[in-house]
Structure 1
Amino acid sequence: MNLIKQIENDIKNNTYSPVYLFMGEEEYYIDYLTKLIINNSLQDHEKDFNLNILYGKDTLISDIISISKQYPVMSERKLVIVKEAQDLSKKDTEGNSLDDLINYVNNPLTSTILVLNFKHKSLDKRKAIYKAILKNGLIFESKRLYENQAQDWILSYLKSFGFNIDKKSSFLITELLGTEINKIVNELDKLIVLKGKNKTITQDDIEKYIGISKEFNVFELRKAIGERDLFKCMKIIDYFSKNPKSNPLVVVISLVFDFFIKLFIYHSLSDKSDRSIASALKVNPYFVKDYSLAARNYSMKSISSKISILREFDLKSKGLGANNISNSDILKELIFKLLH
């Protein structure tokens, strides 16, 4: 994240690299940094003649080079954005690939800013084009958040707008939305607008505005499974059956599967300090106690059998071997087998 701050400060000081490569699995920062450059490098009246947005799958390497070598029109600089640049790694109709940009990258036009968006993957760091950009431009790799990083990210994002949220509420968000930042930001922005002057976000707000129940969610279901609390599990399943769109069966089973995988890892640890467990399981230390309790209720041997059961029910949730059985009944049967 220090590199993001550096790029932000450079842009604030009107300092730009001739070539940027924004790459990685997490789209959010790739889009964020690209928009930041678009919004600050050119005045609105300069964009008509000096902003070119290209798409890798529809663009020739020779076109990128040709456009990048053009001088700006009545402006200090020209901006060339190549979205979906990962498609440039394949040869275009002229037989050129991303490597054919090397000559330009080694001798770029100083009045041009070339931005390459390489999404869902990273450019091979052994490639000559990567080394050329690293030497003559700037590379930022946007990595996916781990589960144990997501809560702190949410806290930091909300803090930047003057809002705060407790750890359990932030965990509730990531449990149902995952760690994809774009999804998280969409919901957080909604909360920020709807909360207005009240700067504290609670579990009630999450239930009201995002639609995630603070009592009946996958996080509470996993906790109830860990406690072997059949009554609580059935109450949650009943809620799920009445709100199927908010609790898709495939997602629920996937998250319960993840819970048992983490329990398996827990049992394999020699160092069972909270810090070691949180690091190994990639969870917030606040929730280590839930795994410690569950580990007392499920031996490593029993966890192996539970994982096999979950694999079987994952197939059922996708329609294999479960004809004419409701999702609610599938989940009830799964919970019964996990708890017995």
Structure 2
Amino acid sequence: MSAEKILSDWKKKVYKPVYWLEGEEDFYIDEVINFAEHSILPESEAGFNLSVFYGKDAVWSDVVNACMRYPMFAEKQVVLLKEAQQMRDIDKLEGYVENPLHSTIFVVGYKEKTLDKRTKFYKTIQKNGEIFSTKKIRDYELPPWITEHVKSKGLTMSQKAVMLLAEHIGTDLSRIVNEIEKITVNLGQRTSITEDDIEKFVGVSKEYNAFELQNAVGKKDLAKAIRIIQFYEANPKAAPIQLVLPSLYGFFSKLYVYFGMADKSENALRPLFYNNPFAAKEAMAAAKLYSYSGVEHALLLLHEYNLKSVGVNDNGTSDASLLKELVVKMMN
């Protein structure tokens, strides 16, 4: 069961009595709960038939009593239990889940955790309701996710714009969606999001960002790499070292994998680079420039400078100076 399937069913007024939303990815849990709170019941019915509890303050018996009430002047009532992972004695809800009221739609948000599938409680929810378990999106899944989300809005987005957004924000889906909404509002009649839009509305320089630094290092273009780092030095919030180092590490880790591949064709390499042919070609060029030993050396340096960036074996060298040292050593 996915968030899309749950919401699709609800839009068709197809409901189960219990929905247990669990796991690492808050975005989907929040999306489903937000719909349950604001869209299942019309406004005229919500005043009498919507109950919202928060796990930290909720008493299990109060939640059960709310679930056991019959709706007033309506066919259904909605009971939400948000942040359920903070609720004490949550397993005592099992008695209600064993025999839920079908006029109640009980939705539980259980973030950052999952129930033990071996327990009776889990099996009871599975039998009488729906369990939606989420996993944190992986870095390599992010660009396709962004592209698909933009497409669902009837828009397109350039590949470079996708990469800029992904590199700048990371796997915070809620923030990504908010930034895309901001851009959409400012598009006017246009239907395509460009890197210029990312620069203007999100605040990411299309020339001086972690993605462009990665490209410069991959091409051993020291002059360009130093220019970008100098921009970071003048604009410390543009790309903190703890954002830049993982980007470089991810790139060289993929090159390291490439050297171990039997098939070293562009098509074989593409899946490592979000199926982007341009990125795959650049990676192949970087592999030739660095060789296996150079890539291995770069990874060791990245580990060393990651430690220095948090004060290990370093007496307070600035982030920009550390990055300059790092790229010079990598390219040599």
Provide the C-alpha distance between the structure 2 equivalents of 1:64 and 1:110, rounded to a whole number of angstroms: 16
SS in 1 for 2:2: helix
SS in 1 for 2:39: helix
Provide the C-alpha distance between the structure 2 equivalents of 1:25 and 1:5, rounded to a whole number of angstroms: 17
Structure 2 counterpart of 1:229, one-letter code: D
Farther-moved stretch of structure 1 (158-167 vs 19-28): 158-167
Unaligned runs of 5+ in 1: none
Are residues 1:58 and 2:57 paired?
yes
Structure 2 counterpart of 1:67, one-letter code: A
Contact 1:11/1:40 (<8 A) preserved: no
Counterpart for residue 338 of structure 1: 330
Identity %: 39
Contact 1:77/1:112 (<8 A) preserved: yes
Counterpart for residue 319 of structure 1: 311
Contact 2:210/2:243 (<8 A) preserved: no
Q: TM-score by structure 2 length?
A: 0.92
Provide the C-alpha distance between the structure 1 equivalents of 2:180 and 2:70, rounded to a whole number of angstroms: 41
Q: Deviations over 1:54-76 (max 9, x none)?
A: 12232233332222112223332
Contact 2:294/2:330 (<8 A) preserved: no
**Alignment map for 1:292-303 (pairs within 5 Å):** 292-303=284-295
Are residues 1:245 and 2:244 paired?
no
Q: Deviations over 1:106-149 (max 9, x none)?
A: 21011111111121233333332222222211122233333333
SS in 1 for 2:22: strand
| Backbone CA RMSD of aligned residues | 2.1
Provide the C-alpha distance between the structure 1 equivalents of 2:135 and 2:328, rounded to a whole number of angstroms: 38
Are residues 1:145 and 2:111 paired?
no
Provide the C-alpha distance between the structure 2 equivalents of 1:275 and 1:28, rounded to a whole number of angstroms: 33
Figure out how many residues of one structure are paired with residues of the other and give that number: 331
Farther-moved stretch of structure 1 (120-129 vs 167-176): 120-129
Farther-moved stretch of structure 1 (37-46 vs 20-29): 37-46
Counterpart for residue 127 of structure 1: 119
Q: Deviations over 1:180-226 (max 9, x none)?
A: 21121111011001112122211111111111122221111111111
Unaligned runs of 5+ in 2: none
**Alignment map for 1:166-245 (pairs within 5 Å):** 166-245=158-237
4+ runs of 1 displaced by more than 4 Å?
none
Q: Deviations over 1:149-177 (max 9, x none)?
A: 32222222222322211112111110111
Contact 2:144/2:274 (<8 A) preserved: no
1:124–1:276: structure 2 CA closer, same or farther, 3 Å change rule?
A: farther
> 1:282 Cα shift?
6.0
SS in 2 for 1:20: strand
Structure 2 counterpart of 1:303, one-letter code: V
Structure 1 counterpart of 2:171, one-letter code: T
Q: TM-score by structure 1 length?
A: 0.90
Provide the C-alpha distance between the structure 2 equivalents of 1:121 and 1:289, rounded to a whole number of angstroms: 40
Are residues 1:71 and 2:70 paired?
yes
Contact 1:26/1:180 (<8 A) preserved: no
